[in-house]
Structure 1
Amino acid sequence: MSYARFAIYYLPPEGALSSFGARWLGWDVLTGRVAPHWPEPGLETVTQTPRKYGFHATLKPPFRLVDGQTPEALDKAVAAMAAGCAPARAEALEVARIGSFLALVPRGDTAQIARVAATCVEALDAFRAPATEAELARRRAARLTPEQEALLSRWGYPYVMQAFRFHMTLTGRLDPQDRAAWQDSVARHLPPLPQPFVLDQVALVGERADGRFELIHRYPLTGCSA
């Protein structure tokens, strides 16, 4: 399979939470297949934007391979990075509103999770082709802060490193009057959420020709804590 872009995700292990996410979004990133939606009127519409990415949290945002690098070399680099990176944990996951959309976010101290994300961004940056002018312009249309502009210039994405926030997107933009109802809908279908939440593996995913992302390989985080 040839992929247009790659990314490093957190994907929940196979189980109740992973199955929920596939049916909620309508796309199973683990199998690369369409999943039947939960029977909620309007669900297909409100999940249209996040659907192609699958149920995940982004650790290293999607990137094109720079000339001279290969998927096989990237695979080896992710494996080496994961072998030296310690797992992370937070108190739990919970549903929250981020701007105008809903997501699962960690509760409590998230410094360890931010450490894993920063490691993914930095350790694999040699594989990232520079952002095009069109990509930069699209990001700048969001009226970035000076800090975000600096991150965009350095890492090709404005919401990494100190601007990173771990989240597993559940919806696209919601009208204010609809947010409470959709939060109730999420609660009706969510399985019990992990307490604590442990991030002990990362996943290499690829963007297919149809624009949807699928799992390529998982890597356990086996480094030792400092």
Structure 2
Amino acid sequence: MSFTRFAIYFLPGQAALAGFGAAWLGWDVQAAQPVPQPEVPDLESITATPAKYGFHGTLKPPFRLADGQDQAALEQAAADLAATIAPAQADGLELTRLGGFLALVPVGDTAGIARVAAACVEGLDRFRAPATLDELARRRKSGLSPEQDALLTRWGYPYVMEQFRFHLTLTGPLPKGQADHWLATAQAHLPPLPPPFVMDAVALVGERADGRFELIQNYALSG
């Protein structure tokens, strides 16, 4: 399989939660296959944007490989890096609205999760091709703070390091006035959420030619 971009995700290991996310979005990133969605009116339309990424939390955002790098070297580097990172945890997860979309976010102290993400962003940055001028301009259209613009320039993405907020995305932008409806709908389909929420592995994923992401390898955090 040839991939156009790569990323480092957290993929839930709890079967009930992973199964919920795959079915809710209609794509199982871990099994690399479509999954029938619940028979909920308009669910397909509000999940169309996140579906191609699968149910995940981003740690290092999608990137193209830098010149002179290849997938085999990236896989080895990701394994080596994971061996130096200690696991992290928070008190649990909760369903919430983030801006215009829904996500599961960690509850309690998230410093450990931010530590894992920062290590992935920095530790694998040599594999990231620099953002193009068009990519930078597209990001800046959303209106970035000076700090976010500096992060975009340095790391190719504005919402990393100090601006990072871990989340497991459940929808794309919701139609105006429908947030409460979709919060209730998602809540009704959620399995029991794990207390605590444990991040003990990271996943290397790749973007296929059809735009969907699939798991390449999971790596235990053993630092």
TM-score range, shorter chain: over 0.9
Separation of aligned partners in 1, 2:174 and 2:12: 25
Q: Which moves more between the two structures, 6-15 or 197-206? A: 6-15
Alignment partner, residue 108 of structure 2: 108
* TM-score, normalising length: structure 2: 0.99
Separation of aligned partners in 1, 2:88 and 2:138: 32
Separation of aligned partners in 1, 2:105 and 2:138: 26
Q: Encode CA deviations 1:158-205: one digit per residue, 9 max, x unaligned.
A: 000000000011011113421111111111111100100000000000
Separation of aligned partners in 2, 1:135 and 1:212: 20
Alignment partner, residue 34 of structure 2: 34
Alignment partner, residue 217 of structure 1: 217
Alignment of 1:38-117 (within 5 A): 38-117=38-117
Separation of aligned partners in 2, 1:123 and 1:171: 30
Amino acid at match of 1:61: P
- Structure 2: runs of 5+ lacking an equivalent: none
Q: Encode CA deviations 1:9-57: one digit per residue, 9 max, x unaligned.
A: 0001151100100110011101111110011100000001101000000
Alignment partner, residue 154 of structure 2: 154
SS of the residue corresponding to residue 96 of structure 1 reads: strand
Alignment partner, residue 202 of structure 1: 202
Separation of aligned partners in 2, 1:89 and 1:14: 14
Q: Following superposition, which runs of at least 4 residues in structure 1 exceed 4 angstroms of deviation?
A: none
Alignment partner, residue 139 of structure 1: 139
Separation of aligned partners in 1, 2:50 and 2:175: 16
Separation of aligned partners in 2, 1:6 and 1:177: 35
Separation of aligned partners in 2, 1:87 and 1:96: 24
* TM-score, normalising length: structure 1: 0.97
SS of the residue corresponding to residue 74 of structure 1 reads: helix
SS of the residue corresponding to residue 44 of structure 1 reads: helix
SS of the residue corresponding to residue 177 of structure 1 reads: coil
Q: How many residues align?
A: 223
Percent sequence identity over aligned pairs: 64
Alignment partner, residue 192 of structure 2: 192
Amino acid at match of 2:92: A
Separation of aligned partners in 2, 1:2 and 1:188: 38
Amino acid at match of 2:153: S
Alignment partner, residue 172 of structure 1: 172
Separation of aligned partners in 1, 2:65 and 2:50: 23
Amino acid at match of 2:5: R
Separation of aligned partners in 1, 2:222 and 2:92: 21
